[in-house]
Amino acid sequence: MVTWSAWPGERFELGEGLRSVGGRLVMVDILTGRLLDLPDGEPPRVLATVDGPLGAVAPLGSGWIAAAGEGISVLGGRVLARLLDGRMRMNDGVADPRGRFWAGSMAYDNTPGAGSVYRVDTDGTVTEVLRGYTVPNGPAFDATGSTMYLADSAAGEIHRYSMSPDGDPGPRSSFARVHEGSPDGMTVDDEGHLWSAIWGAGEIRRYAPDGSLTQVLEVPARQPTSVCLHRGRLIVTTATHGLPTPGPLDGAVLATPIDVTAPPARSAHLT
């Protein structure tokens, strides 16, 4: 039986984007536009706030690159690209092993196929690389960056792409399908297995590199949103968004001991 503990303090409407950075744990609360630090045993602390939704961040030197509002920017610095209109927002994102930042977009009303995935190269160029997603989540990369996993949350499917050294995705293949709930935030561990939060099912799932399901952990919250392996624990964010009567642990940040490790969040690079 899995035993979970909860961080003290706030319950989040849409907490996501857990990252292990420099020995500490950070997350975003998307709809309030906050980047948060999660000290052990203490309530979350606000590191930065943006005007609009904050989909995800990756470390960038001593700061952060962010999928924020309607585009991608350096927090407290330059805007790299304004990509969207008021019907859309940025969602999940991550840096790959080569220092490129990847982030998805989605419509506020979940318009089918309206979302895209963008790549920020190290020279600051922003390119739309994938289209036709409704709610793209992840992506997550293997240790070499030669494989990218991307959740098509609305379709209940996780896709896999072979990546060129230049960051161009090859043909899409189906990696795993979820029949109850939706795949959300993901990470790859040091054994090459993919972990995914399953929104709506109250589960965390671990998949082998061949796509076989190897482990299912039940979470005492209905809407887990992201996962992180940090200092001997599996950490999970959850959300109250859309729940008419949230339970006591809906929206909490949860942790359970685990003997699996993963690399810390990779840093983005800009020249």
Question: What is the C-alpha end-to-end distance of the chain, expressed in Å?
Answer: 48
Residue 172 in marked binding region:
no
**Token reading at 2:** 């899995």
* CA–CA gap between residue 227 and residue 248 (Å, rounded): 20
* CA–CA gap between residue 270 and residue 218 (Å, rounded): 39
Residue 110 in marked binding region:
no
SS3 readout for 104-146: EEEECCCCCCCEEEEEECCCCCEEEEEEEECCEEEEEECCCCC
CA atoms within 13 A on the CB side of 119: 17
Q: What is the CA radius of gyration of the chain?
A: 17
Q: Reduced to 3 states, what is the DSSP secondary structure of residue 257? A: strand
- Which residue in 92, 152, 184, 189 is the catalytic one? 184
Report which of 249, 258, 257, 253 is spatially closest to residue 220, judged by C-alpha positions: 249
* CA–CA gap between residue 53 and residue 270 (Å, rounded): 23
Alpha-carbon separation of residue 84 from 43, 77, 118, 196, 246 (angstroms)? 33, 19, 12, 27, 32
The yes-or-no answer on residue 184 being catalytic is yes
Residue partners of 242: CB distance under 8 A and separation at least 6:
223
* CA–CA gap between residue 223 and residue 238 (Å, rounded): 5
Annotated binding site: 89, 91, 109, 137, 184
Q: Residues comprising the binding site for a divalent metal cation?
A: 137, 184
| Annotated binding-site residue numbers for substrate | 89, 91, 109
Please identify every residue annotated as catalytic.
184
